[in-house]
């Protein structure tokens, strides 16, 4: 959908719009926080362009439409070749119009295109002499940029020495990955500074910083390669005749980081329709990328086409940016709510002034924990940057501090549990009610009885409330001691429903250990992690005997998570003992503890043997299942994978062996195709595990 232009009604509104755009660009390109988010800035500039098209004789000299993006940050190092920005399109129709214009300029109806991600960072030119990195320059106004060579040696993917002793200029984008951004904010706030609003601002500010007492990592992605005055003549001639895709391959061969090894590598498309298909593929993967993109760059691949198309004063005519809907917007933080989860964790949630991001109206955003609020210096009434991509839960990045009016108020942290009034354990970043699970017993029991845990049909939240209010259950083990007369005493519980519920409870005793662990709701674990723990240790006794070092041997459990899991299992020991006493199963079918355990007893660090048709395979299930798999939940599908000897995963990567793609499979299927991962239909997968299907 085309981004609508801002409506500008007269010359005064036009002048104000130009002033607003210049101010926003100045903040954006110097590493500050722009008062406008990307979507608002795009709409403003399109409105300015529309007004100028109708009033060509009244264009102001400061108008952003005639300037290279980044022109607010002027430098004094001349570029050997102008370092231009890109024009934008926002829809398939606008892109088709651009390809028609390109065809007219090149004299050909169709041309090859290079298609790749538009990285959300800061453009720089890296000059190498004899293979050594000598100078870094920002884009500036396109003709000259700022020397930021002090940053040499601090940027990942930008080698100080190339693999060949050539003299060339590599152009690309400096950005922060999501992990680098979080790390940067921890360091920055630890030194008393304001948190960065988003990764793009963080990279821009960090690149220009010369006297900071700390350093934070950044990453470089090359997108252009050109000769310099000192380049070997034969190499320069070869480069000038190379396709863009060839230049990027050469850059990678020289040791420069490009998009080639990411989930969204630059590819070559032969037709505009192929370009649009690739745009959809990259857009589908956007939320899963470890770095930000705000569009897709499309370039004429052939050198002859680039020469024929030429360039304007601010942008080349042979390249375009297909912009994607904004995933970040600025809105106000109105309030903070404190919610208590089923394990007693007290989680803050930001209440926002409603804002539309990527087609969805956002009114709430996660704040993670109290330490996160303090670290980001959030205040009620703040303008905040809110980020949402795909199905990712919206999160508040940081306050837009320079928009503060002085009327903002501190966020008040609860002194007592907001649900039951008990003390709060504040020893960890995630605060927890001192009553733990008992604070929210109804939620804890309803979760344990759910389909993907103990699967006790007929024990929904309403029934759990009755049991708790009547004093019939005080913990999970009490469910297994309920008598028929006690259930019959409940409102709307007849003989048939009572007998059915007792049968479901009896059946729950036979659930595998993985489901029992999941029902216990150990913090830091879920359905997938519970299955891994159960298959690793085979019995509850082995799980409970494991120390932190042994727990770390479970796939996906690191040094930070292991101690907390071990500690919580120790805390749950009385409940686990009671569950075992009432006959709840404490073993995992198919998980075999090694027979050659140490003579003094079972070794709690050993790994069980594996086997089955999916032995050693990492499997991702996506889309709606059909046929014999239609009635299985996603959790049951993952259990099936692991019973067959495989490892279930929720994300596709190079380590993925198989993707089971059902109806409506989207981004995960696209990523599997991109990485060359084997795909299987539900019927094909069912045939692979036929011996395990009931």
Kindly state whether residue 5 falls inside one of the protein's structural domains. Answer: no
Reply yes or no on whether the pLDDT at 50 is more than 90: no
Tokens in use for 414?
A: 């609860």
Residue 137 in any domain: the answer is yes
Least confident range of 2-16, 392-406, 444-458, 460-474:
2-16
| Cβ-based neighbours of 577, under 8 Å, separated by 6 or more | none
Q: Which of the listed residues 508, 541, 560 is the one where a domain comes to its end?
A: 508
336 and 445 assigned to the same domain: no
Which whole number is the average pLDDT over 239-265? 93
pLDDT average, residue stretch 93-111: 89
Residue for token pair 């993907």: 452
Assess whether 502 and 533 both reside in one domain: no
**Quick check: is 1 in a domain?**
no
CATH of the domain at 288: 3.30.470.30
Is 509 a catalytic site residue? no
The label of the residue with tokens 């998570």 reads 561
C-alpha to C-alpha distance for 631 and 227, rounded to whole angstroms = 61
| Per-residue model confidence as pLDDT tens digits over 639-672 | 888 888 888 887 888 889 999 999 888 778 888 8
- The answer to whether residue 636 is domain-embedded is yes
Q: Do 262 and 133 have their domain in common? A: yes
pLDDT tens digits, residue range 2-12? Answer: 556 777 878 88
CATH of the domain at 29: 1.10.287.610
pLDDT of 390 over the 70 cut: no
Residue 26 has pLDDT above 80, yes or no: no
CATH of the domain at 655: 3.40.50.10190
| Chain centroid offset of residue 215 CA | 24
Across 496-519, average pLDDT: 94
Question: pLDDT averaged over the chain?
Answer: 87
Beta strand extents in 258-327 (DSSP E only): 267-269, 293-300, 319-323
Q: Which of 461, 492, 508 is the last residue of a domain?
A: 508
Shared-domain flag, residues 491 and 543:
no
Distance CA 397, CA 382 (A): 12
In this structure, the answer to whether residues 513 and 494 fall within a common structural domain is no
pLDDT of residue 598: 37
Taking the C-alpha atoms of residue 510 and residue 144, their distance in angstroms, rounded to an integer, is 73
Q: What CATH number should be reported for the domain holding residue 355?
A: 2.40.50.140
Domains in the chain, number: 6
What pLDDT is attached to residue 643? 82
- Residue scoring higher pLDDT (27 or 163): 163
Predicted local distance difference test score (pLDDT) of residue 609: 44
The CATH number that applies at residue 487 is 1.10.150.20
User: Is pLDDT of 333 > 80?
Assistant: yes
Q: Other CB atoms closer than 10 Å to residue 488's CB: what's the count?
A: 13
* 16 and 139 inside one domain: no
Give pLDDT, residue 581.
Answer: 95
Instruction: Examine the domain organization and report whether 310 and 338 are in the same domain.
Output: no
Quote the pLDDT of residue 254: 95
For β-strands 658-661 and 678-680, DSSP reports them as: parallel
Query: Is residue 514 in a domain?
Result: yes
pLDDT by residue (tens digit) across 119-178? Answer: 988 999 999 999 999 999 999 888 899 999 999 999 999 999 999 999 999 999 999 998
- Half-sphere exposure of 535 toward its Cβ, with a 13 Å CA cutoff? 23
Q: How far is CA 443 from the centre of its chain?
A: 28
Catalytic residue among 118, 323, 329, 561: 118
In DSSP terms, 385 is beta-bridged to 330, 398
53 & 196 share domain: no
0.85 exceeded by the pTM?
no
Is residue 4 situated within a structural domain? no
Residue 196 confidence (pLDDT): 80
- Residue 251 burial class via C-beta count within 10 angstroms: exposed 0-12, middle 13-18, buried 19 and up: buried
Q: Which among 590, 629, 596, 595 is positioned nearest to 610, based on CA atoms? A: 590
For the chain, the residue count is 694
Domain that residue 381 falls in: 328-425
Checking if the pLDDT of 506 tops 70, the result is yes
Q: What is the pLDDT of residue 599?
A: 35
Question: Do 491 and 528 sit in the same domain of this protein?
Answer: no
Q: How far apart are CA 539 and CA 602, in angstroms?
A: 11
Kindly state whether residue 2 falls inside one of the protein's structural domains.
Answer: no
Tell me the pLDDT tens digit for each residue of 285-314: 888 888 989 899 999 999 999 999 999 888
Residues 216, 153 share a domain: yes
- The pLDDT tens digits for 189-231 are 888 777 787 788 888 888 888 877 788 889 999 999 999 999 9
Match 């927890």 to its residue by tokens: 432
Q: Give the pairing of strands 88-89 and 319-323.
A: parallel
Which of 323, 349, 384 corresponds to the end of one domain?
323
Q: Distance between CA 161 and CA 83 in Å, rounded?
A: 23
| Residue 487 covered by a domain | yes
- What pLDDT is recorded for position 264? 92
Same domain, 514 and 483: no
Report pLDDT for 171. Answer: 97
Whether residues 590 and 444 share a domain: the answer is no
Q: Is the pLDDT of residue 448 over 60?
A: yes
Task: Pick the more confident residue, 652 or 684.
Answer: 684
């Amino acid at each position: 959908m085309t981004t609508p232009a801002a409506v500008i009604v007269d010359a005064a509104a036009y002048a104000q719009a130009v002033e607003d755009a210049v101010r926003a660009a100045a903040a954006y390109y110097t590493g500050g926080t722009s008062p406008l988010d990307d979507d608002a800035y795009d709409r403003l500039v399109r409105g300015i362009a529309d007004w100028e098209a109708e009033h060509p004789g009244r264009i102001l000299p400061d108008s952003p439409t005639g300037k290279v993006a980044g022109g607010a940050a002027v430098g004094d190092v001349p570029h050997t070749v102008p370092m231009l920005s890109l024009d934008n399109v926002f829809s398939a129709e606008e892109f088709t119009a651009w390809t028609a214009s390109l065809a007219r300029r090149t004299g050909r109806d169709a041309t090859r295109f290079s298609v790749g991600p538009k990285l959300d960072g800061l453009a720089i030119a890296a000059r190498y002499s004899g293979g050594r990195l000598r100078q870094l320059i920002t884009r500036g106004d396109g003709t000259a940029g700022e020397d930021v060579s002090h940053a040499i040696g601090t940027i990942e993917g930008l080698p100080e020495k190339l693999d060949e002793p050539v003299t060339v200029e590599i152009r690309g984008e400096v950005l922060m990955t999501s992990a680098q951004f979080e790390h940067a904010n921890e360091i920055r706030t630890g030194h008393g500074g304001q948190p960065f609003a988003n990764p793009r601002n963080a990279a821009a500010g960090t690149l220009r910083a010369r006297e900071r007492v700390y350093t934070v990592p950044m990453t470089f992605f090359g997108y252009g390669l050109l000769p310099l005055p000192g380049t070997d003549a034969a190499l320069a001639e070869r480069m000038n005749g190379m396709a863009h895709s060839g230049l990027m391959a050469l850059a990678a061969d020289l040791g420069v980081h490009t998009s080639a090894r990411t989930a969204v590598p630059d590819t070559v498309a032969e037709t505009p329709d192929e370009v649009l298909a690739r745009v959809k593929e990259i857009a589908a993967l956007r939320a899963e990328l470890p770095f930000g993109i705000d569009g897709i760059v499309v370039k004429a691949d052939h050198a002859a086409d680039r020469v024929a198309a030429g360039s304007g004063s601010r942008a080349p005519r042979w390249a375009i940016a297909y912009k994607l809907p904004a995933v970040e917007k600025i809105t106000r933080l109105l309030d903070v709510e404190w919610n208590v989860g089923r394990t007693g964790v007290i989680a803050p949630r930001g209440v926002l002034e409603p804002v539309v991001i990527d087609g969805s109206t956002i009114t709430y955003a996660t704040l993670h924990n109290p330490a996160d609020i303090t670290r980001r210096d959030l205040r009620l009434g703040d303008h905040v940057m809110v980020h949402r991509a795909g199905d990712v839960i919206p999160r508040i990045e940081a306050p837009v501090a320079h928009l503060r009016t002085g009327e903002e108020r501190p966020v008040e942290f609860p002194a007592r549990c907001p649900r039951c009034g008990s003390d709060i354990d504040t020893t960890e970043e995630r605060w927890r009610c001192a009553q733990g699970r008992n604070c929210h017993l109804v939620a804890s029991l309803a979760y344990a009885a759910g389909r993907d845990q103990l699967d006790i049909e007929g024990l929904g939240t309403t029934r759990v409330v009755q049991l708790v209010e009547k004093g019939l259950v005080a913990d999970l083990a009490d469910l297994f001691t309920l008598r028929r007369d006690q259930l019959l005493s409940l409102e709307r519980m007849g003989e048939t429903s009572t007998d059915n519920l007792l049968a479901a409870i009896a059946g729950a005793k036979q659930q595998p250990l993985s489901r029992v662990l999941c029902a216990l709701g150990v913090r830091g674990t879920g359905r997938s992690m519970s299955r891994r723990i159960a298959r690793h240790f085979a019995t509850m006794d082995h799980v409970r005997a494991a120390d932190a070092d042994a727990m770390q041997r479970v796939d996906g459990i690191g040094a930070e998570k292991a101690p907390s899991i071990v500690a919580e299992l120790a805390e749950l020991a009385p409940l686990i003992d009671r569950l075992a006493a009432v006959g709840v199963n404490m073993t995992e079918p198919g998980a075999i503890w090694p027979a050659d355990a140490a003579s003094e007893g079972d070794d709690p660090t050993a790994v069980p043997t594996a086997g089955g048709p999916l032995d050693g395979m990492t499997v991702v299930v996506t889309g709606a299942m059909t046929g014999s798999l239609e009635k299985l939940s996603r959790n049951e599908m993952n259990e099936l994978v692991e019973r067959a000897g495989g490892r279930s995963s929720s994300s596709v990567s190079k380590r993925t062996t198989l993707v089971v793609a059902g109806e409506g499979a989207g981004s995960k299927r696209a990523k599997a195709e991109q990485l060359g991962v084997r795909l299987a239909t539900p019927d094909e997968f069912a045939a692979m595990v036929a011996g395990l299907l009931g």
